Amino acid sequence: MTKTQLQNIVNKMAKEFGVPPIKLVFTDKRGPGLACYTTFRYRVGGKIEPKNYPKNITIYTWSKIKDSPGQVAYEVGHELAHHIQNIKKNSLVHNNTFYDLEEKVAMMLSKLLR
């Protein structure tokens, strides 16, 4: 699995879920986990807006997990589920709705990575 192939699969899945594509960033540095969904907020008139704007999904220790489609599907699926839920519900919360979405996304991703 190349980085470009994974980016194309993520773009395709984002389109299927009706959300804008998100850039994948690959690194071999350590991070807060194996993958991380990064967002930012705007400051307007001295106050921070409540909306989270998507920035990217960073995949840490890429060289260690790139040959494990199951690990890639789980990590990227989790972060992509955050992206979908953020765009559709403006929420980054882990709850039952999120876990159902995460499972659906990871299963779809796993099939596409084969």
Q: Which tokens go with 114?
A: 């084969």
Token pair for residue 52?
């989270």
Report pLDDT for 15.
Answer: 95
Element (H, E) at 26: strand 24-26
Q: What angle do CA 90, 92, 98 make, to 5 degrees?
A: 100
Overall average pLDDT of the 24-32 stretch: 91
Beta bridge partners of 56: 38
Query: How much is the pLDDT for 22?
Result: 96
**pLDDT value for 106:** 93
The CATH topology of domain 3-113 is Zincin-like (3.30.2010)
Domain ranges of the chain: 3-113
| pLDDT tens digit sequence for 50-74 | 889 999 999 998 998 889 999 999 9
pLDDT at residue 59, rounded to an integer = 95
Looking at residue 35, its amino acid is A
Reduce the secondary structure of 9-56 to three states and give it as a string: HHHHHHHHCCCCCCCEEECCCCCCCCEEEEEECCEECCEECCCCEEEE
| 72-106 tens-digit pLDDT | 999 999 999 999 999 999 999 999 999 999 999 99
CB neighbour class for 41 (10 Å; exposed up to 12, middle 13-18, buried from 19): exposed
Rounded to an integer, what distance in angstroms lies between the CA atom of residue 51 and that of residue 35?
Answer: 22
pLDDT at position 1 over 80: no
46, pLDDT greater than 90: no
Confidence (pTM)? 0.92
